[in-house]
A and B are shown apart, each in its own frame.
Chain A
Amino acid sequence: MKRFRMSQQEIVFVVFALLFLVFSIFLNGFLTAENMLTLLQNVAVLGILGLAMAIVVIGRGIDISLIAALAVPPGLVLQMVQNGHSLPFSLLIAVLLTIAFGLVNGWLIAYAEVPSLFATLATGLLLAGLGQAALFQLDVVQWSPGMNGFERLGQGTVLGIPTSIWMFAIACIVVAFLLRQTRWGAYIYAIGDNPYAARVTGIPSRPIIVLQYVITALIGCFAGLVLAASVNSMPTRIFNSTLIYDVILVVVLGGIGLSGGRGGVLNVIIGTLLIGTMLNGMTIMDISYAGQNLIKGVVLLLAVITDSFLNPRNEETAQQGDI
């Protein structure tokens, strides 16, 4: 007898379709071309961040500092251009900063063996504090004439589709290629599935973990650039927002278990669609910011509870102190 069981991503997709349907029917102004465009625009940055988070979550880690990587290096680009540096030079510095940040994260987690949640919580604060204290003059770094042309990264359309969606698509393809077609991708899955087994089979697990966090930080920086380009500024206070919860929601709801080794780009896309629709619907319904956070928090909690039942922690490989 063939059991009728749907995989998590199918369930989530059905939920998304239902939600979309309900919103379309009951919510005025949801199913308009204009709103769809906004929805997709908003979803793009979230989706790119989701991809970044997916890489570390598949490798049995988590990166809370992603929003700092999103806010600070792109903010630095804008600030440097404002101060008169050239755009390519500023980009280079920002990328170097991002790589350094990823290396610090990776080193702390892989070599100093600090739990990933804990390490990235602190490094995120460190980077945000650095930006606040030393890099930026104002909380919102403004667009300057030197940046002209760069806004096309986040604005306008190509072949009728918003550029930011293209960026999301490109990021999807790159990450999918990395995870599914390269040896490093296979290593990430192996480490996420069972770190000890991966290590004894000879996988260079520590360098691969460092690599994960560097790639994640770079993707985060890319998402920040897209965000800055689409709103023509970099609101660095975004670090204090609840964006990171949205990203975790995307990943967990999409079906990438927090215990690692499972999921892929498709899960991120589905999760992004669901969360994007939910956020957009709540905005149209004019739910206050705090109310939205409350709803998101409860949904995330339910998702994590469900996740812990669907992908229970492997007692053999769960570390002592794996909090």
Chain B
Amino acid sequence: MRDTLTSLRYRYWPDHLLGEILSKRWTETAIPVILLLIVGFAFSRSIDNFLSPASLADTARQAGEIGFIALGLALVVIVGGIDLSVGSIFALTDFCALYLLDVAGWPVPAVVVATLLCGALLGAVNGVLVGYLRLRAFITTLITLIIYRSAYDLLIQRYSNAIASAFPDIPSWDFIGAGSVSGIPTVALVYIVVAIFGHIFLTRLRPGWHITAIGGSRRSAYNSGIPVRRTIALCYVASGVLTSIGALFFASRLGTVGGDIGVGLEVIVLTATVLGGITLGGGKGSVAKSAVGVLIVLLITNGLTTMNARGGVNRMALAGILLIAAMVDIRWQKNRTRIISKVYVAPTYHELPPPPPTEIGQGGPFEQNDKLRNVEAIGLGRIEAPEDVILDRHDNLYAGSRHGDIMRFLAPDYQKMEVFAHIGGQPLGMAFDREDNLYVCIGGMGLYRIKPDGTVEKATDETNRSMRSVNDDSRLRLADDLDITDDGLIFFSEATVRYEMDEWPIDGLEARGNGRIISYDTKTGTTRTELRGLKFPNGICVASDGQSILFAETFGCSIKRYWFAGPRKGAVEVVMDNLPGYPDNINLASDGNYWLALVGMRSPSLDLAWKMPGFRRRMAKRVPVDEWLFPNINTGCVVKFNEQGKIVESFWDLHGENHPMITSMREHRGYLYLGGILNNRIGRYKLDNADPNFVQYDKRWGKQS
């Protein structure tokens, strides 16, 4: 009863999604957006007319003005600096615009250009100081803040009366401040245009990438030839220009030069930036984050003002939000990987009946013996990690190696070893096609094709993305084993879509159906996912009927058959289940049966743990990785089974000296060749009563001269 409940709970509750969602980059934008919705909802319930069109239009005007400043600050923060002088630049450029318009009587276009230039100049001062003289951004802009502010104070002492007494009546000027296009205020419209350009600039254009690179690592950016100083300086200039755009709209909306314009603005903008999720210290941030941050801060400050809060409350709220946001951001950036790796492992319920006996004296097909004790070792100490072994029509032996090479041992004595092809990733399963091309599954890379002359080509490394998966499962993470049908269709298994090659045992700990079987059509070059939700699919072999494949589910401890053609097309049937070990590669035997490698034997402790997902999750959270309970892969065996799923024979290495683990075996001219991903040799075992002329690919594709 309890087991049933546990199994239902783990079948229908998607535990694995939390880790996958957290590891997405967009969660860092999603959290501020959710916060924005909450704040908007809370204020709209407690304040009447908070979301009325008039109030919204007013908010949009403010948001546009502050949004421009926030864009500039975002740029500066992403490049790894900070600009506190924006409030004073805002005040000075506001003055500049109004002075030129009201006192000097310039035409509106000239005023706009001059104001932007003024902003650029003020930003350039910061840029030279921080970018070229390499001063500390925070203290430098704090000083320019006070310098610009006192300059502004001096200027308005002289000119505020002249500006206040002038009432320019220029339609185009008023349109900038108060106009709207089909209900949307001009400023919001311009902001949207600039924001869209800013997004493209930051994510798609070279200078934007430079900015992110410098913020991420200044020294690496310098070493890779990016003009660090100039780029930083230009970011401050941009900040000045964007601030002056905001000031232009402000000037045309209110037309005043009060003493407190722009005072404390830097704190508002800074809060918006940090709250939006733009990381202090640089390297991370986006236009969307900046916009969301501005909206949240404006809603809060406007809401507090509407609720008649005292000035100090507003200040406290801003400072408090700023601190909390900065703290969360800093802790998150620092611990992100650790948190995600803790919650990423999501074990599920997996029940297996007690395994068949293997002990000597217990009888049964799996009874242990010592047949593999005296196998011959090929390439002892010279090859590392031959996951799969294969022989061509000329008796040469091929095996993958940990160094990303396909090694070839030359017939007849297999003493001479050479690099047949260098690929770069760990080669796993291999198969020859009709034209003697060697297809190889490469962990982390995909399916590759090696021509007889040794040239390497990529066959496929992506498949169709499934709509319901959070992780992008279009890239192949762990292509494992393959076989080729008569029609040139390649079926290959991808063991897991949730873990990388080096983390594959964790998938066994999770025991979730994360794997799939994918087909690649050599004629059309298309890739298609055939089966999903398999528990670590591994070995694949086209069955003798030519209409189905046999595949092993390593952590499902079973062999299944999948019909890809014929009357039962699409059906999946269990051939063998409840194996005593974890099945790996499957290959043809000379007598029409199949060879199967069991990479490791089941253990009662993991069998029990598989029924206790909560236990495994606690383990993943609290115990260091190297002390986790992993599937045993230290003892294994080779078995032969027939079409009906009956075990015919088994081969063991009792002492585990010659072959600590076996992941693959291949029969060739009366011998069985053994490979293991943790071994430093290839085994060669003389089979009794085997066809001494059996060559798999001669039999498969017909003899060739």
Contact = CB atoms under 8 A, between A and B. Distances in A.
A129 B312 contact: yes
A122 B81 contact: no
Contact of B313 (A122, A133, A297, A313): A133
A297 B146 contact: yes
A69 B322 CA distance: 19
B222 to A, nearest CB: 11
B573 to A, nearest CB: 57
Interface in B112-135: 129, 133-135
B624 to A, nearest CB: 23
A321 B218 CA distance: 10
Residue from A129, A132, A292 whose CB has the most chain B CB atoms within 10 Å: A129
Where chain A touches its partner, the secondary structure class is: helix
Nearest to A289: B153
A90 B135 CA distance: 43
11 contacts: A125-B318, A132-B311, A133-B312, A248-B139, A289-B153, A297-B144, A304-B143, A308-B134, A308-B136, A313-B134, A323-B136
Interface stretch (A30-38, A107-115, A172-180, A195-203): A107-115
A289 to B, nearest CB: 8
Interface string B135-163: 11111101110110111011001000000
A296 B281 CA distance: 28
Interface string B278-317: 0111100000000000000000000000000111111111
Interface in B75-109: 80-82
Interface of A: 62, 64, 108, 112-115, 117-119, 121-126, 128-134, 242, 245, 248, 258, 288-294, 296-298, 300-301, 304-305, 308, 313, 320-323
Contact of B150 (A121, A134, A293): A293
A230 to B, nearest CB: 25
A128 B314 CA distance: 11
B139 A294 contact: no
A126 B320 contact: yes
Nearest to A312: B134
B310 A122 contact: no
Given A112-B327, A296-B146, A297-B147, 14 more contacts: A112-B331, A113-B330, A115-B281, A119-B323, A121-B267, A122-B319, A130-B312, A133-B311, A133-B316, A290-B154, A305-B135, A321-B80, A321-B281, A323-B80
A118 B138 contact: yes
B217 interface: yes
Contact of A288 (B136, B139, B144, B157): B157
Contacts of B310: 132-133
Contacts of B589: none
B468 interface: no
Given A113-B330, A321-B280, A323-B81, A258 B319 contact: no
B557 to A, nearest CB: 48
Interface in B216-232: 217-218
Given A290-B154, A321-B80, A117 B138 contact: yes
A249 to B, nearest CB: 10
B150 A129 contact: no
B334 A113 contact: yes
Interface of B: 80-82, 129, 133-140, 142-144, 146-147, 149-151, 153-154, 157, 217-218, 267, 279-282, 309-320, 322-323, 326-327, 330-331, 334
A-B pairs, top 6 by smallest CB distance, nearest first, are: A321-B281, A132-B312, A133-B312, A129-B315, A129-B316, A290-B153
Contacts of A119: 323, 326
Given A113-B330, A122-B319, A301 B140 contact: yes
Contact of B330 (A114, A121, A291): A114
A133 B151 CA distance: 31
A125 B319 CA distance: 6
A300 B315 CA distance: 27
Contacts of B81: 323
Contacts of A122: 267, 319-320, 322-323, 326
A258 B311 contact: no
Nearest to A107: B327
A134 B313 CA distance: 8
Contacts of B279: 321
A96 to B, nearest CB: 19
Contacts of A288: 154, 157
Contacts of A128: 312, 315
Contacts of A64: 142
Contacts of A304: 135-136, 139-140, 143
A8 B323 CA distance: 36
A172 to B, nearest CB: 25
B150 A323 contact: no
Contacts of B151: 290, 294
A307 B267 CA distance: 27
B315 A62 contact: no
Given A288-B157, A320-B281, A123 B150 contact: no
Contacts of A292: 150
Residue from A125, A290, A323 whose CB has the most chain B CB atoms within 10 Å: A323
B143 A297 contact: yes
A161 to B, nearest CB: 33
A105 to B, nearest CB: 11
Contacts of B133: 305, 308
Contact of A108 (B153, B218, B327): B327
